[in-house]
Structure formats: C-alpha cells, structure tokens
Amino acid sequence: MTARKSEFSEDFRDQLDLLMRLRRDVRRFRDTPVDEAVLTRCLDAIRLAPSVGLSEPWRILRIDSETARAAALKNFETANAEALAGYSGENAKIYSQLKLTGMQDAPVQLAVYCDDSTTKGRGLGAGTMPEMRRYSVVTAITLFWLALRAEGLGLGWVSILDPEQLNRDLNVPDDWQLIGYFCLGHPEETSETPELEQKGWETRQDRLKIETR
Ligand SMILES: Cc1cc2nc3c(=O)[nH]c(=O)nc-3n(C[C@H](O)[C@H](O)[C@H](O)COP(=O)(O)O)c2cc1C
C-alpha cells in the first residue's frame, strides 16, 4: 500500500485545531440535560485511548445519588477552604474569587480512577514506572474532553479534594487511585482563553520552550 500524505483534509486539521483551542475547563453549566446517547458516544472515546501495555486501567464511577454528590461537594469545600488558607495577600484575594468547581450544578458527574492493581497488560511498560498506568488514564481523559467539546459539551476537572475521604465516601477498592472528579454539561460560554487567565491568576505561555541535549 502506498503511503498517503494524510487521511485527513486541511479543513479537518483546521477544525481539529479549533477544537483544541476551544477546549476549556468548564465550571459554569446551563441546566440543559445531557443527552445520554451523546454522553455514551463521548465515553467511548476513552476506549480509544493509549494505555501502558494495553492495560486500560481506567475505572469510572458515575456520581448520581444526592448522598454521593453531597459528600463530594463537602469534600471540595473543605479542601478549597484549606487551600485558600494557604495563600495570603493578593493571591488569597484572587483565589477567593475563583470558581474552581461546577459540582453544585453539573448535570453529569464522574469520579475517574486508575486501577493500580490491574493485571491487564501483564505489567508491560509499568515495571520501572508503575505510575504509567495513571498517565494512561489521563490520556483517556484528554480524548474524552475533546470528544465532549466536539459535541458542544464541557468538562471541568476537579482535583481540590481529599482523595482518601472521597474513596471512603464512594466505597471504592483500596487499589483504585483517584485521577479526578469530573463535572460535565452544557457550558455557559465559549472562550479561547482559560478562565484562570481571564481572572488574572495565571497566563498561558505564548510559545513552547524546547531544550536540546
Ligand atoms: C490535572 C488537572 C487538575 C485540575 N484541577 C482543577 C480544579 O480542581 N479546579 C479547577 O477549577 N480547575 C482545575 N483544572 C483546570 C485547570 O485550571 C485548567 O486546565 C487551566 O487553568 C487551563 O485552562 P483550560 O483547561 O480552560 O485551558 C485542572 C486541570 C488539570 C489538567
């Protein structure tokens, strides 16, 4: 078979670039429900992700019950208050004004885990660096994030949490490591600029620095 230049058109590449530019961490959601068929399609993107040794170590919990959601939100509020207490001056002022979760109103919420004890993949590639399993889950989240964005949906990653408390509240196996708590829904707005940049917390680098050895 002769090698083709690319299976994808220039138009497609432009669209892909736009998709990546418009992927945002979303913390503000409309109350429009998420279509289940669309959600399933986006979740299927996770199955396409690379994983060390083909271990597919992702484990996904859908957080639907009032009790589980309330426990997760309380967990965030406690961790966020502790985080705020660690800042002072201008940092504390800006931090206190940031909205760092959409857990209050996101129609779909997921807790995503890495199963550190999986035997799938027979340990290939994870011998010297077992953390590669967790990185595999992160790559899967990235595909999921883009798939959602392509459907007009947004995702917000919440990491300001006490993972041990959350694991107890959600009754997860000991070998599962929390990768993140994710809020999904229809975003209130679209922007090419990260919200943390808009709010004056941090800026995105304008060029990629590459060192050579
Ligand atoms: C591993 C990870 C954890 C994150 N945790 C949080 C979080 O707890 N709360 C939050 O508001 N944003 C969180 N974010 C989102 C980042 O703040 C966001 O990606 C960054 O500001 C750039 O914005 P953008 O995603 O819209 O480009 C997290 C992102 C990643 C990748």
Statement: the pTM of the whole predicted model exceeds 0.95: yes
Structure tokens at 175: 């070998």
**pLDDT for res 1:** 53
Question: Whose alpha carbon is nearest atom 10 of ligand 1?
Answer: 100
Q: Indicate which atom in ligand 1 lies nearest the CA of residue 197.
A: 21
**pLDDT for res 59:** 98
**pLDDT for res 24:** 98
28 lines ligand 1 (CB under 6 A): no
Q: Could you list the pLDDT tens digit for every one of the 213 residues in the chain?
A: 555 678 999 999 999 999 999 999 999 999 999 999 999 999 999 999 999 999 999 999 999 999 999 999 999 999 999 999 999 999 999 999 999 999 999 999 999 999 999 999 999 999 999 999 999 999 999 999 999 999 999 999 999 999 999 999 999 999 999 999 999 999 999 999 999 999 999 999 999 999 999
**pLDDT for res 5:** 77
Q: Indicate which atom in ligand 1 lies nearest the CA of residue 202.
A: 21
